Chains A and B, each alone.
Chain A
Amino acid sequence: MTELLNTLYVQTPGTSLRLDGDTVRIYHPDQPGRHLLPLVRLDHLVLFSGVTPTDDLLLRCADDGRSVSWLTGSGRFRAGLIGPTHGNPLLRQAQHRAADSPQRQLPIAVAIVAGKIHNARQVLLRTARDTSGPRQTALRATAELLAQRLELLTTTASTNEILGVEGIAARDYFAAMPYLLGDNTDWKASGRNKRPPTDPLNCLLSFLYGMLRVAVQGALEQVGLDPYIGFLHAVRPGKPALALDLMEEFRPLLADRLALTMLNRRELTPTDFEELPNNAYRLTDNGRKTVLAAWQQSRQREWPHAQLNRQVPAALLPLVQARLLARHLRGDTVAYEPWTVN
């Protein structure tokens, strides 16, 4: 089993990071003392605005193939560090060829959407199990609806149709958010809205999707896949289509469920969000700290992986799936199988 490596998230402005032998030295004027982390235990550095790494540290990360990403306060990806790509042109070539050939592309796109729907149903069924009355009925009804959407995938003949099914299923699922949120009156769910999010749930989801996105993109880069050439999402300049593809199967269980748990258990309160004059919501510094801590902790959790027939920590799932995709694209396996929890 690959050793579970950590991602270092640094969000306090004014923090500096420097290379000290084989460790990172973390320094902030308000937090005296020595904070050292061995580099061998880190596979990714995620830095928010106002954090300054030295060039020694960045170059060392580039040499070792360790990812470094910069994010905005709301979790949007701003930049990444890429080392000398001594990656694998044959894999990229296979990826591009598969993306160009409907017989190769469509089954992968179907697998991605099917994986997402399976996992979304799990979120619904799991919550339904512990509830009763109309709430349970509503959750089960949405799970049934998603089962029907899944069957629509048997007849899809183009990525447009597959995206269509994905869109309908996402709408059904987000319409059930109020039932997933429960009777906690602090929050109300109003379907998915983004850019900017106009309620706390959406604000939280956007942030967690941002975390998921850097994790997935880091995993793709690590195995040498091109994050910009996808199978489901359309290829457009500046859009990491493959990262968006691979994120789909993880969203419900790794991001949505964490968001719902945090709100339902009141680990976050309305004061962790600020409402801006234009109704947009964003996390406060404190709220972001709480969310990052919860995200870090959720990454340690082990999940069943049916294809590998073992438990895999959440932090490694993107890497495992990126490898499975790479192995499929290189002709080692007959199909790409998404990660589903059952």
Chain B
Amino acid sequence: MTDDHPEDSGTDLREVPLSALEHYAYCHRQTALIHVEGVWTENVETVRGDLSHTTVDLPGIQRRRGLTTIRSLPVWSHTHGLRGICDVVEFEKNAATPVEYKVGRYKPGGPAELQLGGQALCLIEAGFDVPTGYIYSVAERRRHPVPIDHDLLERVIAATAAVRRLLHTPALPAARNDTRCRRCSLREDCLPELTDGQRQTPPDLLTPRPLGQWRD
């Protein structure tokens, strides 16, 4: 997770944490709940996620036959106002290869690719060639290559601008209340059934009620 410290960056843009790109691709409200409301539910999935991260979270450098592997590498882009930490980046000559660790199975075209693209954007700005990145699925115990192409980078740039607008907006986006909510770790905070923007009728609180059906 990354913090937003505009004052110590060299950019006038309000910074967007790289992790927010992935949240944004999943659900706009989720992005706002995490990055504006400060909501973070430690459900089983995120706890498991943290455990899988513990091995890569320790900063470290490893050199082997011309390949340098760096864990927890801080990256940024002044041009696009992005900042974050890469799980693992492998450097070889002038090429950099980011590897993002994910707990679940790999989904081609899924939200994680946007985050990986953001990392690539930062590494490119730092002067490296980034032809490919990988998403390592802990569940499958294998890495999936993701080509870093023009199209992905364009999507990252557009999403960054959209997230920045969201961080500036005081109101929260309405909940989607669709199938995605079922797997969402913020469901209990979000309450999508009540917050999907369908106006609810205010409850009648002032009429006495009979004994309820609660069991003893």
What residues of chain A have their CB less than 8 Å away from a CB belonging to chain B? 1-3, 40, 64-65, 86-88, 90-91, 110-111, 114-115, 118, 121-122, 125-126, 129, 146-147, 150-151, 153-154, 223-224, 303-304, 307-309, 323-324, 327, 330-335, 337-338, 340-342
Determine whether the beta carbon of B209 is less than 8 Å from that of A118: yes
Question: For residue A331, which residues in chain B have a CB less than 8 angstroms away from its CB?
Answer: 171-172
The CA of A110 and the CA of B202, in the complex, are separated in Å by 13
Determine whether the beta carbon of B203 is less than 8 Å from that of A335: yes
- Knowing A334-B199, A342-B213, the reply to whether A224 touches B188 (Cβ < 8 A) is no
Determine whether the beta carbon of A3 is less than 8 Å from that of B44: yes
The CA of A172 and the CA of B172, in the complex, are separated in Å by 43
Determine whether the beta carbon of A304 is less than 8 Å from that of B213: yes
9 closest Cβ pairs, A-B complex? A342-B212, A147-B208, A114-B205, A332-B195, A335-B202, A125-B211, A88-B38, A2-B188, A342-B209
Question: For residue B195, which residues in chain A have a CB less than 8 angstroms away from its CB?
Answer: 327, 332-333
Closest residue of chain A to B175, judged by CB? A332
Chain B interfacial residues counted at CB < 8 A: 37
Determine whether the beta carbon of B41 is less than 8 Å from that of A2: yes
Min CB distance A82 to B, Å, is 14
Question: For residue B189, which residues in chain A have a CB less than 8 angstroms away from its CB?
Answer: 223, 323
What residues of chain B have their CB less than 8 Å away from a CB belonging to chain A? 36-44, 47, 170-172, 174-175, 188-189, 191, 193-195, 199-203, 205-214, 216
The CA of A338 and the CA of B193, in the complex, are separated in Å by 17
Q: Is the interface of B mostly helix, strand, loop or mixed?
A: loop
Question: For residue B214, which residues in chain A have a CB less than 8 angstroms away from its CB?
Answer: 122, 303-304, 341-342
Question: For residue B200, which residues in chain A have a CB less than 8 angstroms away from its CB?
Answer: 333-335
Determine whether the beta carbon of A338 is less than 8 Å from that of B211: no
Question: For residue B188, which residues in chain A have a CB less than 8 angstroms away from its CB?
Answer: 1-2, 323
Min CB distance B110 to A, Å, is 25
Contacts beyond the supplied A118-B208, A126-B211, A153-B206: 19 A-B pairs with Cβ under 8 Å: A2-B188, A110-B205, A121-B209, A122-B212, A147-B208, A150-B208, A151-B208, A154-B206, A304-B213, A307-B194, A323-B191, A330-B37, A330-B171, A332-B195, A333-B200, A334-B202, A335-B202, A335-B203, A342-B209
Min CB distance B20 to A, Å, is 15
Question: For residue A1, which residues in chain B have a CB less than 8 angstroms away from its CB?
Answer: 188
| Contact among A90, A122, A153 with B37 in the assembled complex (CB-CB below 8 Å) | A90
Question: For residue B211, which residues in chain A have a CB less than 8 angstroms away from its CB?
Answer: 122, 125-126, 129, 342
Question: For residue B39, which residues in chain A have a CB less than 8 angstroms away from its CB?
Answer: 88, 223-224
- Knowing A114-B205, A151-B206, the reply to whether A40 touches B47 (Cβ < 8 A) is yes
Min CB distance A157 to B, Å, is 14
Closest residue of chain B to A151, judged by CB? B206
Question: For residue A90, which residues in chain B have a CB less than 8 angstroms away from its CB?
Answer: 36-37, 170
Min CB distance B56 to A, Å, is 18
Determine whether the beta carbon of A341 is less than 8 Å from that of B191: no
| Contact among A111, A126, A333 with B205 in the assembled complex (CB-CB below 8 Å) | A111
Question: For residue A327, which residues in chain B have a CB less than 8 angstroms away from its CB?
Answer: 191, 194-195
Determine whether the beta carbon of B36 is less than 8 Å from that of A115: no
The CA of A126 and the CA of B212, in the complex, are separated in Å by 9
The CA of A87 and the CA of B195, in the complex, are separated in Å by 20
Determine whether the beta carbon of B36 is less than 8 Å from that of A88: yes
7 contacts between A and B (CB under 8 A): A110-B206, A150-B207, A154-B206, A324-B194, A327-B195, A334-B199, A334-B202
Determine whether the beta carbon of B43 is less than 8 Å from that of A121: no
Closest residue of chain B to A87, judged by CB? B38
> Considering residues A126, A324, A332, which has the most beta carbons from chain B within 10 angstroms of its beta carbon?
A332
Closest residue of chain B to A340, judged by CB? B209
Min CB distance A6 to B, Å, is 14
Closest residue of chain A to B204, judged by CB? A114
The CA of A133 and the CA of B170, in the complex, are separated in Å by 59
